[in-house]
Amino acid sequence: MRSPIGIFDSGLGGLSVAREVIRKLPQERIIYFADTAHVPYGERPLEEIKGFALDITRFLIERGAKAVVMACNMSSAVALDEARTRWPDVPILGVVEPGAKVAVRTCDGRPIGVLATTGTVKSEAYARAVGRFDDNIVVVQQACPKFVPLVEAGLADSEEAEAVSRDYVAPLIQAGCGTIILGCTHYPFLRRAIESATGPGISIVDPAEETVLELAKVLNEKGIASDAFEGSHLFYASGETSGFAELGSRFLGEPIERVISLQASVVCVRTHGS
Amino acid sequence: MRSPIGIFDSGLGGLSVAREVIRKLPQERIIYFADTAHVPYGERPLEEIKGFALDITRFLIERGAKAVVMACNMSSAVALDEARTRWPDVPILGVVEPGAKVAVRTCDGRPIGVLATTGTVKSEAYARAVGRFDDNIVVVQQACPKFVPLVEAGLADSEEAEAVSRDYVAPLIQAGCGTIILGCTHYPFLRRAIESATGPGISIVDPAEETVLELAKVLNEKGIASDAFEGSHLFYASGETSGFAELGSRFLGEPIERVISLQASVVCVRTHGS
């Protein structure tokens, strides 16, 4: 089934999930939606974020998505259940559940650390998700407000990134965490800096990787995996796209033949009685 | 089957076909593509126009189009056969064939007049299409280079439009035409001016109307008509979009709830061995 996989995020961070899909499922085509008109989600009311997530999920399904990945920790936390209820026939995955699941499997009873944005920390999404798998495990959360600006400034591999990482990781090491979840789609780009801060002996969990493994499983179970890649990936942004092409191709890490820029308008016609 | 109908044109004129789809098939959803990066097609080599048409057809089919309408006389003339060969499972319609067909049916043996752009006149598309249905019928073509600028300047209902129409229609009346085909998707907007020039007793054929009737037939025969409208129409433009929202809503003539502007990038990843 050559319909695409829908993936969305508040911004470009979710491209780390797209990159994993391209690596692990190269026969699948992607439609990606970056909600750059509303990024960042961090300070917005949860109901608003939920509304955005449901609108975007609908948009992707209308464009033919056979499965949808909420590559946004906030969206996954607040909108996943409702989206699954609304579109029961379309597999919808978040990044929080798969991340929490593998962390629980690898933590060996020790505390699990979570590096995340302030919003995701406040939502306690990872703490709740870990609790659903095993409620004896302690979850230690650390908000990392400096991480996203570093990645977006292209400083993921800088000394500054290493110094900031050491500050954020220290409380998790002190709490005895043996496993650390990268609880924001931008953080995989900081993996080297974070690993230099943790040293060896601490497992880093990238929810993107686990989410894509889960996605592969679901596609196979449902018999809707694609048999061959055909055509082109399509990336939408609701607002600003500066840096999209450059960051996009860096995030994707794939040989790109060409990028065609489009303008698009969604016209919502008033429907009667539906 | 709630997949959308794909419609494309070099510019906005094809919205007259979209308008007909919305009027006659209100349960169908549309994805429209305006190739505004390359408009006008008129002076371009036919091979180039064919390439654009095949690229856009592929784009629309990849975005889930269950049927494609080439709402562009030039594209219909040069790319229809090749597109049907490439995508045998997707109904692909042009505007020239349906327009010629109904003109032949209504002309009662008298000459058929064609008002069209210089490019379409040169391509002789309507003359050939009429010939395929009945090669005894005389086709009189009239190039109308002033019509598109009038429509795009919002002067479709002006005295100037009436004067220009009289000039263009005069040779067709003189040749004894009883039927006149509006051979460009912009011209239906000039219908009033053209009718005031022809006077009564001459039938005006709008290929858009005939094309949509043909589309309805094909959707029913194939069992792929939609049972209910759901969601939103989506309009893409490869380049300039100024006037798109304004002209678009005027052309559509439908109560529009809201228009969401998007940026989109098509990323063509190099594929190996396909």
Read off φ and ψ for residue B7, nearest 5 degrees.
Answer: -135, 135
Which one from A107, A144, A177, A184 is the annotated catalytic residue? A184
**Segment A46-86, tens digit of pLDDT:** 899 999 999 999 999 988 899 999 999 989 989 999 999 99
* Higher-pLDDT residue of A251, A10: A10
Query: Given an 8 Å threshold on Cβ–Cβ distance, is B271 in contact with A229?
Result: yes
| Per-residue confidence (pLDDT) for residue B233, from 0 to 100 | 87
Whole-number percent of chain A with pLDDT over 70? 92
Q: CATH number for A5-94+209-252: choose from 1.20.810.10, 3.30.450.20, 3.40.50.1860, 3.30.1330.20.
A: 3.40.50.1860
A72 as an active site residue: the answer is: yes
**Alpha helices, DSSP H only, in chain A?**
15-24, 46-62, 73-86, 96-106, 118-123, 125-133, 147-152, 159-174, 191-198, 207-222, 244-252
**Segment A122-159, tens digit of pLDDT:** 889 999 999 999 999 999 999 999 998 898 788 989 99
* Higher-pLDDT residue of A230, B243: A230
Q: Are B212 and B188 in contact (CB under 8 A)?
A: no
**Segment B57-74, tens digit of pLDDT:** 999 998 889 999 999 998
B72 as an active site residue: the answer is: yes
Residue A252 pLDDT exceeds 80: no
Query: Given an 8 Å threshold on Cβ–Cβ distance, is A235 in contact with B265?
Result: yes
Residue with tokens 């007793």: B201
How would residue A87 be classed by pLDDT, with cut points 50, 70 and 90?
very high
**Segment B91-142, tens digit of pLDDT:** 999 999 999 999 999 999 999 999 999 888 988 999 999 999 999 999 999 9
Measured CA to CA, the distance from residue A219 to residue A207 in angstroms comes to 18
Interface residues of chain B, partner chain A, Cβ below 8 Å: 3, 22, 29, 58-59, 62-64, 228-239, 241, 244-245, 248-249, 252, 254-271, 274
Measured CA to CA, the distance from residue B190 to residue B163 in angstroms comes to 12
Measured in residues, chain B has a length of 274
Q: Are A99 and A107 in contact (CB under 8 A)?
A: no
Which H or E run contains A234? strand A233-237
Q: CATH number for A97-207: choose from 3.10.129.10, 1.10.357.10, 3.40.50.1860, 3.40.220.10.
A: 3.40.50.1860
Residue with tokens 């990268």: A182
Q: Are B125 and B94 in contact (CB under 8 A)?
A: no
Q: Where in chain B is the domain with CATH 3.40.50.1860?
A: 5-94+209-252, 97-207
Cβ neighbours for A211, distance < 8 A, ≥ 6 positions apart? A17, A20, A69, A71, A93, A94, A95, A98, A99
Residue B172 pLDDT exceeds 90: yes
| Contacting residues of A for B274, CB less than 8 Å apart | 228-230
| Per-residue confidence (pLDDT) for residue B251, from 0 to 100 | 65
Beta strands in chain B (DSSP E): 5-9, 30-34, 67-70, 92-94, 112-116, 139-143, 179-182, 203-205, 233-237, 256-269
Measured CA to CA, the distance from residue B201 to residue A87 in angstroms comes to 55
CA distance B269 to chain A (A): 4
Residue with tokens 């790319």: B79
Residue B254 pLDDT exceeds 70: no
A136, with CB counted inside 10 A (0-12, 13-18, 19+), is exposed
- 3-state DSSP call for residue B228? coil
How would residue B260 be classed by pLDDT, with cut points 50, 70 and 90?
confident
